[in-house]
Structure 1
Amino acid sequence: MIRSLFLMIAAVLVLAALAAGPVRSQERDPILVPAVSQQEVQVRQGFTGTELLLFGAILDPRGSRAADGYDIVVVLKGPAEPIRVREKERVGGIWINSESTAFRSAPTYFAVASSRPIGEIVDERTAAIYELGLEFIQLSPGGTIDPEEQARFTSGLVDLRQRQGLYKQDMNGVTIEEGVLYKARISLPSNVLTGQYTAETFAITDGRVIASAVAEVEVRKVGFERFVEVFSQSQSLLYGLLAVCLSVFMGWLAGRLFALV
C-alpha cells in the first residue's frame, strides 16, 4: 500500500519535472523534485507539535529514473534571529552570569536528516559549506571573538537548543525507495517560533553535492493566539498596560481567595 502510494507520487513528480520545461540531454547530474506534507503549520491553543513528511523524487534530466548510488540529506531551518549567549559561573555556591557573546544570526530551528551518517557521505569541508550537521551550523558573531571562545559558545547554544528540542539530527532519517523516492520525517516541537521555514534537500554521490532543491513551510499562529500576537506588535504600549493590569488583578484575586480559606 505504502509502496504503491509513493510510486503514484513519483509519477506525479516526474510529470511535474517534464512540464517544467526542456533540459539539455547531455546533462548527467540528476534533478530533485521536492515536496512537503504540509505547506502551512497552524499553531493553535493546545498545540503539542507536529511531524513533517519531506519527500520527493530523484530523476535524471530527461525525467526518467536516475541511477542508483545517491545519498540524500535534508536540512530544515527556521527563521534566523540575533541572540546573546551567556555563560554561567558558580561563585560562593551561587550560579551567576559570567562571560557572554552575541550572534547576529542563529536559526531558531535546525534539523538534519540523512540516508547515512554524514561522515560517510561527505568530508568536513563539504559538510561545513552546506551545514550538514549540528557541528557545522554557521553562526555570525556580533563582533571580534577568539575562535576557541566562539566554538565554546556555539557548542553551548547548540546543546541548549538540543535540550529544548529545537536542534536535532538523525543520521538514518532518510529512506530511499526504488532508487527514485526519498522521504524523511522531521518533528516540530510545540515551542517552535512562527515564520518561514526552508527545507533544503541535497543529492550527494562520491562526496560531491550534485543536486539540491528547496521547499518552504510556513508556521503561523491562528485563532486567539494570532490575535494576541498581532495586538502585541501593533499596540505594544496598550498590550503592556493590559498585561500589567491583568497581573495586578490576578495577584489581588489570589490574595482574596487565600484570605477566605
Structure 2
Amino acid sequence: MLCAALAGVLVSGCSCEKPRVRPRPEAPFAAAEHPLMRVRLGEEAPSAWVAVTAPWRLTGPAGQLAAGERLDWTEVAFRGGGAAFGSQAPVPGGLELAAESDGAIRVRQTIGGKERERCYRGVLRILPTTAGALRLINILPLENYVAGVLSNELPKAWHAEAYKAQAVAARTYALAERNSHQRYDFDVYDSTLSQVYGGAGTETASAWDAVLATWGIVATYRTAAGKAALLTTYFHSTCG
C-alpha cells in the first residue's frame, strides 16, 4: 500500500494554503524506482493534529481503517498502548495516513513548547512508543526529500551552482544515513541532528531546479577493495 500511495508524488503538485513551485520531470516515475526516505518529524509527544487537503486514506497493520475526500483537523493521540485516530480505537502497530498525489498532509505539532504547522508529501507514519508518546515519520521519495532540504540549508539568493552542489551533498548524506539506519524505524531527523527538512511548504523554484539538474547524482569514493562507496557528506554553517 505504501508504494501505491507514493506512486504519484514525484509527478504531482502540492499545495498547503497556497500553490507551491514544483517543476515536473519530463516523464513519470514509479515510486519503486526511487529510494524512499523515512524522516522523523519533530519530537515525540502524546498527541498531534493532522489534516489532508485532498482525498486520503488511513491504514493500519490489518488494512484500511478510514478514507475520505478531505480531512479536517483531527487529533492523533497515544491511547491504550497504541495510536488512536480521532475517536477510533487505538492501534498498537501504528497508523499510516496517505494523501492522493495532488494533496498534502498537514501536521501540527508542539516542538520545544511551541506549536509548529507544516505540510508534507508522501505518507505520514504514526507510531506509538514505549514511553507513551507518538513518533511521526514522513515517508517520501528521495528527490522530494532533497527539495525540502535545500531551501532550509541555503540562503535563497545563493547561486544556482551552490544549490546544485548542496543537492548532491544532501542526497549523498541522506542515502548514507539511510543505509546505516535500516534496522531503525526512521533514517534521518528533520533538524540539524541530520539536515534541516521543512517539507513541501518550503520547496522553492531554486531548490527544484537544482534537484532536477543533479537528479540521482551522489558523491562516492573508491574503497581499498576497489568498490565505489557513498561518502558521508557532512556540511556546516559555522565551522570554517
| Bigger relative contact order, structure 1 or 2 (CA pairs below 8 A, ≥6 apart) | 1
Do they fold alike, i.e. is TM over 0.5?
no
Please indicate the TM-score interval, normalised by the length of the shorter structure. under 0.3
Query: Whose helix fraction is larger, Structure 1's or Structure 2's?
Result: 1
Larger radius of gyration: 1
TM-score (norm 2): 0.22
Query: What TM-score, normalized to structure 1?
Result: 0.21
